[in-house]
């Protein structure tokens, strides 16, 4: 864990994003301190990537922010000019996304792509930029001679490293990793994550790490927020979340990963499938899949199916949105 | 998202039972999709208008198109003769509306025939592969390398009968190869998709995989290929007739233009027997081209998404475009 | 009595252009057997050849050499359509991508009904009933409603259940599951794995479970095969192999998922392209000795039931 995180770097307040009529993100609050690793976990379609794109301000129509604010070092990004945003992107916040390795231009040498990117943001000579690119590649554990390589000459893991190196180029305060290793093999995945940890130690940037793989977050993140159907249902320091998950969805997720050691027991996972956000369930959005939502318990059942639970602080830094915890 | 769903258009074409409401009228889903696209909507209206004219032509034509009236030759357009008259005194308006029948029918039938041949050969070749594919490929290449228009000129020049069916057969003969090539290429990308392998693994016979599993997923492409060949046939047919290689006793746009040219009407300042059938032809082709463009846009969301993703990457890396 | 036996199976693919033709030894010298009522996990990284093995067994590819023994006959040599059909009715494949393995323009009913009709599993009059039975078995209820749906109307987990129902339709003896959960949401993966466990127990099916996920292999499998660059490098009972791995590659995999710090010296190219004599893992191996780069190790049973392809940890006598 990093030193005492004091300065709030980024704050997301009541963020609401709609795709046409579908509300993909419905009132989310997040704050990221400088140098912190925040994990954002959830299944496909829960809105976690939309949050990332909103922070990065790269939402494209039909997606649009319909409510809330995103404050970077106290300044609201919503409503900034294109030119201001262009400067903010990559210099303050950069992003590595899942298919990022396909974002490299196949007909340009890796080094030239660094040059392009750097020259778009600052006045720097080509020679200077290439040297810097080589240094960056070395930082992510690659040979600096690879600046001369074309993307197709690199493996998937290597290309992902190149993208990470690019994300580091302007030493941003925050890097968003959106499923950065999902398409990679376990060994490569492990190496890249080790690399990110090491780089973070050296450069002290904050990280928003988005993944569906909760087990990875338990290991790498300082704090974890669990998203379900466009909302945050639980957030807590990683150790605490692993130790005492309070939301039934978090509990279910943790029960969905078979262990590699210890006795072999049957797991249950979570029945059903994530909801269709065009018609989100009434009340608590998790109630159709919740094992504790039983008609027998009439009073609670009525609340669960009709009233939306609010995210409440249960312990310092541990927030949960669940009627069970209130009761 | 790795998901490659069928285009909505394919689904709607292959599963025609679902209707979609547009206003108060219930229309087939595929039509609704095409009507929502600006290009194909405009194209469909144009084509529908031409077809409508062709259907009601006996009702609106002033006279039998080949009736001649030597008392009213070479008249400029007027209320009496909307499109004027020819040097024989035939009513050009009647020739254009009645000619629409033959031109459209011939184009559509030639397109359909070429599409049928191309779909069966192209898709089967792609799926079966091996020697069958080699042979079909060779055949398409041969037909593609033969210059189509000279071949048509030669073939139709030697034919004794030049009835409509002959023309259809001749045009289909030179055009099927274009389509077969397109459809084969598209079938090749589909043939290794898991659902085809799954069908194969479950023991489906080849013909069922080709016609029952592959083809329904290609309907929008087959439709696009049909529209393409439809308007090429229209142009080719009119071109042949213009060169005097069609059935010169028939009434069609090409024939009217032919006679206008033979009698050098334009040189004498009589533009109307030339202009009006040409306009009809141009308008129809424009309509079909628009429909084709619409089909392309509706059925290639993947392409559009890719383009968007490209922009996204550029934006992210702060390249010039952003 | 094994349900399916694989002997020295190999598959090469020609890659590269006409000038620089190379041979990819996607599968080399693979031998194992599948037992009724047991799940065998086949694990490895992408490109290790594990999916190719499943597809060879499903007869989607013809092997370059080796044999697949089923019911006394060598399936790799069978050519007659009738024989192939019979084999396919007993050895079924479940694909990785539930979005790609169902025909988008066909209903769920079509997917399950076709195998029933092709292989004449039940008389025509009972097809409908059997379709509903199968959908219920895989947990898709109400079956009549699900049967009418199109793939795009189902979630990923539901699609994979349809694919499993399709595989079960022909009452197979062997099911080859090629990463059946890797494209599904985390919370529903366990459901699919549990379904496979249930089917194994109730129907005495022999499963081959192809995966890159060691934890899920441990969760459902009885035996494990670890593949690297086209070869099986370790084989044995799953608990034993994962508790005390012999091969350095298995150890590396385990270290990666255990969250241990790893040092890997991977080189760019896959070791399976134009392989030379020697161990294919040698360039990444922390234990390598001189013999490793000159002689290809054989699978040697170093502990009871557990074999590895390594000169150091499982030396030949």
Q: Write a three-state SS string for A103-167.
A: CCCCCCCHHHHHHHHHHHHCCCCHHHHHHHHHHHHHHCCCCHHHHHCCHHHCCHHHHHHHHHHHH
Tell me the per-residue pLDDT of C262-292, one tens digit each, with 9 for 90 and over. 776 665 556 677 777 889 898 888 888 889 9
Q: Taking 80 as the threshold, does the pLDDT of residue A302 lie above it?
A: yes
pLDDT at A107 over 90: no
- Using pLDDT thresholds of 50, 70 and 90, give the confidence band for residue A3: very low
The residue behind tokens 């459902």 is: C220
Token pair of B317, please?
Answer: 């890396």
Strand partners, B292: none
CA separation for the pair A207, A174 (Å, rounded): 6
- Give yes or no for a cis peptide into A46 (omega within 30° of 0): no
Rounded mean pLDDT of A87-101? Answer: 79
Furthest CA-CA distance within chain A: 72
C-alpha distances (whole Å) from A195 to each of A176, A305, B169, B173, C282 are 15, 45, 67, 63, 24
C267 contacts chain A (CB < 8 A):
no
Query: Side-chain half-sphere of A180: how many Cα atoms within 13 Å?
Result: 34
Nearest to A209 by CA among A95, A83, A324, A308: A95
Structure tokens at B228: 């393409």
Q: Nearest by CB to B319, which of A82, A97, A116? A: A116
Mutate to test the interface with B, among A120, A162, A170 (most CBs of B within 10 A): A120
Render pLDDT for A33-61 as a digit per residue (tens, 0 to 9).
Answer: 988 999 999 887 788 888 988 888 888 77
> Is C37's pLDDT higher than 70?
yes
* B213 touches B11 (CB < 8 A): no
Residue B38: is the preceding peptide bond cis (ω within 30°)? Answer: no
Q: Is A67 helix (H, G, I), strand (E, B) or coil?
A: strand
- DSSP code, position C277: S
> How much is the pLDDT for A2?
44
**Which pLDDT value is given to residue B63?**
67
* CB-based contact B5 C99, cutoff 8 Å: yes
Region C93-117: mean pLDDT is 89
Confidence of residue A1 (pLDDT cuts 50, 70, 90): very low
**What is the per-residue pLDDT across C137-154, written as a single tens digit (0 to 9) for each?**
888 878 988 999 888 888
Residue A75, beta-bridge partner list:
A72
**Residue A177: helix, strand or coil by DSSP?**
strand
Distance CA A90, CA A176 (A): 10
Its ipTM equals: 0.80
Average pLDDT over every residue of B10-33:
69
CA torsion, ordered B77, B78, B79, B84, to nearest 10 deg: -40
How far off is chain B from A76, nearest CA to CA, in Å?
19
Q: Is C42 helix (H, G, I), strand (E, B) or coil?
A: strand
* Cα–Cα distance for residue pair C164/C94, rounded to 1 Å: 6
Predicted local distance difference test score (pLDDT) of residue B74: 67
By C-alpha distance, which of A310, A252, A261, A262 is closest to A41? A252
Least confident of A136-150, A213-227, C165-179: A136-150
**Residue A291 contacts C, CB cutoff 8 Å:** no
The C-alpha angle B291, B14, C141, rounded to 5 degrees, equals 140
Q: Do C88 and B198 touch (CB under 8 A)?
A: no
Handedness of CA A258, A262, A264, A269 (dihedral sign): negative
- Collapsed DSSP state (helix, strand, coil) of residue B74: coil
Give residue B136's pLDDT.
Answer: 92
- Going by pLDDT thresholds of 50, 70 and 90, the confidence category of residue A194 is confident
Percent of chain B with pLDDT over 70: 77
E strands present in C58-134: 65-70, 73-74, 91-94
pLDDT tens per residue, range A114-152: 888 888 877 888 888 888 888 888 888 788 888 888 888
Q: What is the pTM of this model?
A: 0.80
C300-303/C73-74 β-pairing: unpaired
Predicted confidence at residue B4, as pLDDT, reads 42
Summarised one tens digit per residue, pLDDT across range B23-74 is 666 677 777 778 888 888 899 999 999 888 888 877 776 667 666 666 666 6
- How far apart CA C195 and CA C207 sit, in angstroms, is 12
CB-nearest partner of A185 from C212, C218, C255:
C212
* DSSP H/E element including B44: helix B38-60
Residue labelled with tokens 């439709």 = B223
Check B203 against C88: CB less than 8 A apart.
yes
How far does A162 lie from chain C, in Å, by closest CA? Answer: 15
Report d(CA C174, CA C181) in Å as an integer.
18
Q: Find the helix or strand (DSSP H, E) in which C225 lies.
A: strand C223-228
Which residues of chain C have a CB within 8 Å of the CB of B3?
99
DSSP label at residue A320? E
Question: For C187, which of A186, A253, A258 is closest by C-beta distance?
Answer: A253
Could you give the percent of chain A with pLDDT greater than 70? 96
Neighboring chain C residues of A212 at a CB cutoff of 8 Å: 185-186
Residues from chain A contacting residue B322 (CB–CB below 8 Å):
82, 86, 89, 120
Of the listed ranges A67-81, B17-31, C88-102, the least confidently predicted one is B17-31
Instruction: Name every residue whose Cβ is closer than 8 Å to that of residue C314 and which is 6 or more positions away in sequence.
Output: C246, C247, C297, C299, C300, C301, C302, C307, C308
Residue of A nearest to B2 (CA): A99
Binary contact (C190, A268; C-beta < 8 A): yes
State how far the Cα of C54 lies from the Cα of C42, in Å rounded to an integer: 9
Q: Which residues in chain A have their CB less than 8 angstroms from residue B2's CB?
A: none
Closest residue, chain C, to B3 (C-alpha): C99
Please give the Cα distance from A259 to A131 (Å, whole number): 45
Strand partners, C91: C174
Asked if B189 reaches chain C (Cβ–Cβ under 8 Å), the answer is: no
**Residue C6 and residue B179: Cα distance in Å, rounded?**
45
Q: Which residues, at least 6 apart from B292, have a Cβ–Cβ distance to it below 8 Å?
A: B43, B224, B227, B228, B231
The pLDDT tens digits of the residues spanning C243-255 come to: 999 999 999 999 8
pLDDT of residue B322: 30
**Neighbour count for residue A297 (Cβ, 10 Å):** 13
Closest CA to B201 of C158, C114, C22: C114
Q: Which residues in chain B touch residue A60, judged by CB atoms under 8 angstroms apart? A: 308, 311-312
Identify the top-confidence range among A90-94, B275-279, C106-110.
Answer: C106-110
| N residues, chain B | 322
The Cα of B9 is separated from the nearest Cα of chain A by a number of Å equal to: 21
Residue B19 is predicted with a pLDDT of 61
Q: Identify the residue with better confidence: C166 or A75.
A: C166
B310 pLDDT higher than 60: no
Instruction: Please say if the pLDDT value at position C309 is more than 70.
Output: yes
* Residue with the two structure tokens 């009233």: A307
pLDDT tens figures, B205-257: 888 889 888 888 888 888 888 999 898 888 888 888 888 777 777 778 888 88
Tell me how far apart the alpha carbons of residues A192 and A179 are, in angstroms, rounded to a whole number: 12
- Report residue B299 as tokens: 């059925």
pLDDT in tens, B143-180: 888 777 787 778 777 777 767 788 888 888 888 888 89
What is chain C's alpha carbon radius of gyration, rounded to the nearest angstrom? 20
Determine the Cα–Cα distance for residues B43 and A132; give it in Å rounded to an integer.
Answer: 55
Chain centre distance of CA A82 = 24
Residues of B in contact with C183 (CB under 8 A): 2
């Amino acid at each position: 864990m990093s030193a005492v995180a004091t300065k709030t770097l980024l704050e997301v307040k009541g963020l609401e994003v709609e795709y046409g009529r579908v509300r993909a993100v419905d009132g989310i609050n997040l704050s990221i301190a400088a140098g912190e690793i925040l994990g954002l976990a959830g299944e496909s379609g829960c809105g976690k990537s939309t949050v990332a794109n909103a922070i990065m301000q790269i939402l494209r129509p039909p997606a649009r922010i319909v409510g809330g604010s995103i404050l970077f070092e106290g300044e609201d990004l919503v409503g900034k000019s294109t030119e201001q945003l262009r400067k903010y992107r990559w210099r303050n916040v950069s992003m590595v996304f899942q298919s990022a390795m396909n974002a490299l231009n196949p007909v340009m040498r890796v080094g030239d792509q660094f040059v392009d990117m750097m020259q778009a943001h600052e006045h720097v000579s080509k020679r200077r930029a290439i040297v810097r690119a080589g240094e960056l590649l070395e930082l992510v554990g690659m040979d600096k001679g690879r600046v001369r390589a074309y993307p197709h000459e690199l493996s998937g893991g290597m290309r992902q490293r190149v993208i990470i190196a690019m994300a580091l180029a302007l030493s941003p305060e925050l890097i968003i990793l959106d499923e950065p290793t999902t398409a990679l093999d376990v060994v490569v995945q492990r190496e890249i994550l080790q690399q990110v940890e090491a780089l973070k130690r050296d450069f002290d940037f904050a990280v928003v790490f988005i993944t569906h793989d909760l087990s990875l977050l338990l290991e790498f993140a300082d704090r974890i927020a669990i998203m379900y159907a466009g909302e945050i249902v639980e957030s807590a320091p990683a150790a605490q979340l692993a130790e005492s998950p309070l939301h039934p969805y978090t509990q279910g997720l943790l029960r969905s990963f078979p262990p590699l050691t210890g006795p072999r027991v049957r797991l249950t996972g979570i029945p059903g499938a994530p909801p269709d956000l065009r018609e989100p369930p009434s009340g608590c959005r998790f109630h159709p899949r919740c094992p504790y939502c039983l008609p027998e318990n009439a009073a609670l059942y009525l609340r669960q199916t009709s009233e939306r639970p609010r995210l409440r602080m249960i312990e310092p830094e541990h927030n949960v949105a669940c009627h069970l915890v209130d009761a | 998202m790795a998901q490659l769903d069928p285009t909505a258009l394919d689904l709607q074409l292959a599963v025609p039972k679902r209707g979609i409401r547009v206003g108060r009228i219930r229309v087939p889903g595929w039509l609704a999709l095409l009507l929502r696209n600006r290009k194909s909507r405009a194209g469909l209206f144009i084509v529908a208008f031409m077809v409508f004219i062709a259907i009601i032509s006996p009702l609106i034509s002033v006279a039998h198109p080949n009736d001649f009236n030597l008392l009213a030759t070479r008249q400029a357009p007027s209320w009496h003769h909307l499109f004027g008259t020819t040097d024989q005194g035939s009513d050009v308006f009647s020739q254009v509306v009645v000619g629409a029948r033959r031109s459209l029918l011939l184009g559509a039938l030639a397109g359909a025939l070429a599409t049928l041949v191309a779909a069966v050969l192209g898709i089967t070749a792609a799926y079966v592969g091996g020697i069958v594919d080699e042979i079909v490929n060779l055949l398409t290449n041969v037909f593609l390398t033969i210059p189509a228009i000279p071949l048509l000129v030669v073939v139709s020049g030697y034919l004794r009968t030049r009835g409509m069916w002959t023309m259809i057969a001749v045009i289909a003969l030179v055009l099927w190869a274009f389509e077969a090539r397109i459809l084969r290429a598209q079938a090749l990308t589909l043939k290794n998709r898991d659902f085809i392998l799954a069908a194969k693994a479950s023991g489906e016979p080849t013909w069922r995989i080709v016609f029952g599993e592959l083809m329904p997923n290609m309907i929008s492409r087959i439709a696009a290929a049909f529209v393409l060949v439809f308007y090429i046939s229209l142009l080719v047919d009119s071109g042949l007739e213009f060169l005097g290689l069609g059935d010169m006793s028939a009434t069609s746009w090409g024939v009217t233009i032919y006679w206008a040219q033979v009698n050098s009407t334009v040189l004498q300042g009589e533009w109307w027997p030339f202009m009006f059938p040409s306009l009809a032809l141009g308008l129809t082709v424009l309509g079909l081209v628009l429909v084709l463009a619409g089909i392309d846009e509706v059925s290639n969301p993947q392409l559009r998404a890719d383009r968007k993703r490209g922009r996204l990457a550029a934006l992210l890396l702060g390249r010039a475009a952003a | 009595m094994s349900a399916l036996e694989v002997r020295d199976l190999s598959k090469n693919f020609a890659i590269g252009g006409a000038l620089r033709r190379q041979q990819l030894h996607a599968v080399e010298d693979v031998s194992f057997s599948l037992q009724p009522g047991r799940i065998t996990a086949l694990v490895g990284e992408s490109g290790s050849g594990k999916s190719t093995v499943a597809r060879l067994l499903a007869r989607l590819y013809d092997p370059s050499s080796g044999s697949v023994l089923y019911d006394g006959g060598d399936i790799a040599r069978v050519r007659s359509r009738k024989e192939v059909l019979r084999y396919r009715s007993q050895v079924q494949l479940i694909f990785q991508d539930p979005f790609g393995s169902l025909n988008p323009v066909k209903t769920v009913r079509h997917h399950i009904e076709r195998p029933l009709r092709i292989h004449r599993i039940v008389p025509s009059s009972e097809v409908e009933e059997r379709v509903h039975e199968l959908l219920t078995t895989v947990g898709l209820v109400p079956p009549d409603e699900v049967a009418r749906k199109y793939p795009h109307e189902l979630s990923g987990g539901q699609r994979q259940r349809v694919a499993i129902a399709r595989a079960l339709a022909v009452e197979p003896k062997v099911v080859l599951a090629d990463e059946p959960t890797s494209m599904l949401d985390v919370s529903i993966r366990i459901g699919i794995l549990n379904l496979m466990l249930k089917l194994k127990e109730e129907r005495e099916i022999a499963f081959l479970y192809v995966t890159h996920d060691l934890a899920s292999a441990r969760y459902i499998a009885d035996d494990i095969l670890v593949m690297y660059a086209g070869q099986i490098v370790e084989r044995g009972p799953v608990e034993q192999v994962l508790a005390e791995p012999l091969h350095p590659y298995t150890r590396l995999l385990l270290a990666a998922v255990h969250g241990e710090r790893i040092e890997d010296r991977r080189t760019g190219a896959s070791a399976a392209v134009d392989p030379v004599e020697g161990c294919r893992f040698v360039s990444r191996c922390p234990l390598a000795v001189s013999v490793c780069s000159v002689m290809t190790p054989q699978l040697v049973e170093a502990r009871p039931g557990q074999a590895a392809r390594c000169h150091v940890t499982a030396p030949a006598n």
